[in-house]
Amino acid sequence: MNYLAVHRTLPHVARLIAVLAVAGAALLPGTAAAAAKGAPGSLRAGAGQADITPPQTGYFLGGWTRADRLARGQSTRLFANTLVLQRGTRKVALVAAELFAIPAGLQEDVARAVADLGYDHTTVLLAASHTHSGPGGFANNPIYNTAAPSLQTVTDPLSFVRFLSPAPADRQLYTFLVRQIATSIRRADADRAHAAAGWGHADLYGITQNRSIEAHLADHGIHMAYGKGTPQMDPDGPNHTIDPNVDVLRVDKLVRRGGRTVHVPIGAWSNFSDHGTVVKSQLEAYSGDHHAAAWRVFTALVRRAGHVPGTQTVVNAYPNSDEGDITAGIVHNGPSGADEVGTAEADAMFSAWRAAGRGLSRTPALDLRWTRTCFCGQSTSTGPVASKGAEGLPFLTGSEEGRGPLFDITGVPLEGVTNPIPDPVQGDKVIVPAGEPPPAVPISVLRIGDHALAALPGEPTKEVGARIKAALLETMGGAGVRRVVIAGLAGDYIQYITTPEEYGQQSYEGASTLFGVNEATFLQERLVDLAGRMVSGRPAPDAYPLDPSYGVRPDGPPYPAGAAQGTVTGQPGAEVQRLGHARLAWRGGPSGHDRPVDAPFVHAERRVAGRWQTVDTDLGLAMLWRADDQGNYEVTWEVPLTAPTGTYRLAVTATRYELASEPFRVTPSTALTVVPAPASAGRVGVSLAYPKARIDVDLTARPSAASGGIVQFRVGSQTVAVSQRKGTGFSAAAPAGADVTIPAGAARDRWGNTNAAPVTLHAG
């Protein structure tokens, strides 16, 4: 089943759908393509999804890795989204997990868990979205289980011990993640049917920016001190500082109905470069960040456009790309900011998805080369790589979106601090002791149709991505590959991958490039070798022997089932306006154990014809709940802008009990503001503005101005009502020098939300 089907009527999705023409996806012809060697036959594909949110609070937030930033609840549920593709005996699973990283040991354990279905560690492409608001502490290599001590944790001596000597993976969490990610693959595999696939593209500007601009400028031979560079200094223009590419692999099932072949969309694998750092650590809640909004909005649009039956799962497997220095998290913040960013991404992905419908193939090329390569001090065209990975000093103060505890104390970013005595391999890095990164990592090249995916175990910068794309396209272009896509954070994690020029700046990313100046060159050359072997039909080189498990096995105990009963301790108010918050508090089991996996925990229900109907749940974007270690829970539901007025309640469906709040009324918002707007001579004009979302208070994005509605202008003794079906401007004729009043409640949007304060305008 599709666990998000209940959210098909989410208002922010409905607003998008209302302005989109229904795509002609019901009857699309398949386009023949040359079959890849070793992959005869037509395509079969399936979609699957599984909840990977730990049913326990208290883990530090992976990505932020601060001991004082713990998950105390949930803003959005975390998921693994999977597409399975098969031609003949060759099957691959494309999995996007809402985590900050994928350890190689975990990836191999997931593959082993589905080995009976014909997968192995080479054919499960498991990549992270890189949300910084997922759990930490599950890495096989304990170096990635560290969380920096802070002023808040300084009274706990063990926080320093754990920082210098990180704990092994939490086996309970590790086992849960392995089993749930494997479940998403099993569900996708069971969903397989005849299918067609194809690629579409769009560009997305204005959402992301380069957070390490001085390092990026060094790629152009421009050297600026930290804090002195600007995007306008890029000789190719500001847009060259980011990767705007939105690449979407569309997959449709082919179903016979009434003697015709009907296309039933099952979703996409999508690719865009954007750090998962819009939701900051201060929220202290699990969140899929902007990825969570992007795939939810996208799948709702696809389901509507493709007339997809409710029984069919639709996914958007959206991991990350060459996002090492690219983020939306400097300008945008909090859950509402993530919703805004994700919705823009979903729009672009949907545009690319529609474009892909014009070139779907039933026989897309499907080929793969995978290996594990050891750094081992090997030579490259630009010099050797290190045998042992090492962190640089700027790593300790974190990135621009959220500095670390050391910066909290000193107020000094260490970016740009270099060693005056350069090392031949590690360059001008000021090395700090930070454990033992993996000496060898998996890389792969996967061909799907006329595209190739280059899978890297870390975070390449925009320029690294551009160079790898160009090198692989040069190698594979003669074999029919038209475009190369970067699959970052795939299969393992070695932090950042920067160009030699960027590395020399020792920004946060350069300091976190573990294997020295030439790491990116090394990985690029290994990927080119794999691509050349694919083109010539040769096998991949033997994998470097390494056990990436670090002794961790998926044999941990299950999480507790939670309390047997709960008790309501706080009720919502009797009346809640749209865009306002309804809250319910109750007492149950400690640390969030009461939450079920793969099912809603909290429902918002509306009374319709004497029955309660679910209109939203915590599987969506508009709820935030918290729990403490004493079993005290509170949930906040943000009433959507377009929610029908009427009687509502909040209901809890825990693993072992059910609760419901007292009913409350949802009423129109009175938070609209009438704003003067330009108008032609002899007229006065206004627009209707919605309140700006408050960071970490409001949960969803809202438009800046109402499109459509009615405004009643009081001109002298006359009332002039101006209505619009769409458009943000309203104007009325008025004599020069006249005062024009819009009384309280006289301006309304399409849903009846109104203004509480009157406005007086002076006609020019």
Q: Residue 655 falls within a domain, yes or no?
A: yes
Q: Residue 581 falls within a domain, yes or no?
A: yes
Q: Residue 293 falls within a domain, yes or no?
A: yes
Q: Residue 16: is its pLDDT beyond 60?
A: no
Interhelix angle for 104-113 vs 171-190, to 10°? 50
pLDDT at 147: 79
> Lowest-confidence range among 12-16, 323-327, 351-355, 606-610?
12-16
Question: Stretch 358-371: mean pLDDT, rounded?
Answer: 97
pLDDT at 398: 83
> Lowest-confidence range among 405-414, 443-452, 512-521, 710-719?
405-414
Q: Which band of pLDDT confidence, cut at 50, 70 and 90, is reported for residue 435?
A: confident
CB distance 709 to 720 below 8 Å? no
Q: Residue 2: is its pLDDT beyond 90?
A: no
pLDDT at 394: 86
Which domain does 258 fall in, by range? Answer: 5-536
Domain boundary among 613, 636, 667: 667
CATH of the domain at 611: 2.60.40.2300
Cα-only R_g, the chain: 27
503/409 same-domain check? yes
520/581 same-domain check? no
Q: Which band of pLDDT confidence, cut at 50, 70 and 90, is reported for residue 148?
A: confident
Q: Residue 40 falls within a domain, yes or no?
A: yes
Question: Stretch 690-713: mean pLDDT, rounded?
Answer: 96
166/280 same-domain check? yes
Comparing CA positions, the residue from 295, 243, 293, 292 lying closest to residue 269 is 295
Q: Residue 409 falls within a domain, yes or no?
A: yes
pLDDT over 70, % of the chain:
93
Domain boundary among 620, 640, 667: 667
How much is the pTM?
A: 0.93
> Lowest-confidence range among 62-71, 239-248, 607-616?
62-71
CA distance 426 to 18: 55
pLDDT at 360: 97
- pLDDT, one tens digit per residue, over 704-743 is 999 999 999 999 999 999 999 999 999 999 998 899 999 9
Question: Stretch 2-22: mean pLDDT, rounded?
Answer: 36
504/394 same-domain check? yes
Mean pLDDT score of the chain, rounded to an integer? 92
- pLDDT, one tens digit per residue, over 44-65 is 999 999 999 999 999 999 998 8
Compute CA distances 258 → 86, 428, 648, whole Å: 26, 69, 43
SS (H, E, C) 216-259: HHHCCCCCCCCCCCCHHHCCCCHHHHCCCEEEEEEEEEEEEECC
109/234 same-domain check? yes
Residues facing 719 on adjacent strands: 714
Q: Residue 305 falls within a domain, yes or no?
A: yes
pLDDT at 14: 36
Between 39 and 723, whose confidence is greater? 723
Question: Stretch 84-91: mean pLDDT, rounded?
Answer: 96
Q: Residue 3: is its pLDDT beyond 70?
A: no
Question: Stretch 684-700: mean pLDDT, rounded?
Answer: 97
Six token digits for residue 374: 């050891």
CATH of the domain at 740: 2.60.40
267/308 same-domain check? yes
CA distance 299 to 62: 26
161/188 same-domain check? yes
Q: Which band of pLDDT confidence, cut at 50, 70 and 90, is reported for residue 528?
A: very high
pLDDT at 159: 56
pLDDT at 152: 61
pLDDT at 161: 53
Q: Residue 578: is its pLDDT beyond 90?
A: yes
Q: Residue 22: is its pLDDT beyond 90?
A: no
Q: Residue 120 falls within a domain, yes or no?
A: yes
225/287 same-domain check? yes
Q: Residue 448: is its pLDDT beyond 70?
A: yes
Question: Stretch 497-515: mean pLDDT, rounded?
Answer: 96
Six token digits for residue 306: 């493709």
- pLDDT, one tens digit per residue, over 99-108 is 999 999 999 9
683/597 same-domain check? no
pLDDT at 67: 82
34/129 same-domain check? yes
pLDDT at 401: 87
Compute CA distances 717 → 496, 740, 741, whole Å: 68, 10, 11
> Lowest-confidence range among 8-22, 190-204, 542-556, 631-645?
8-22
Would you call 172 exposed, middle or buried from its count of C-beta atoms within 10 A (0-12, 13-18, 19+)? middle
CB distance 461 to 502 below 8 Å? yes
Do the bridges between strand 90-97 and strand 124-128 make them parallel or antiparallel, or are there none, so unpaired?
parallel
77/145 same-domain check? yes
610/693 same-domain check? no
pLDDT at 10: 37
pLDDT at 413: 86
Domain boundary among 516, 536, 556: 536
Q: Residue 214 falls within a domain, yes or no?
A: yes
Domain count, the chain: 3
Between 67 and 349, whose confidence is greater? 349
Question: Stretch 209-222: mean pLDDT, rounded?
Answer: 97
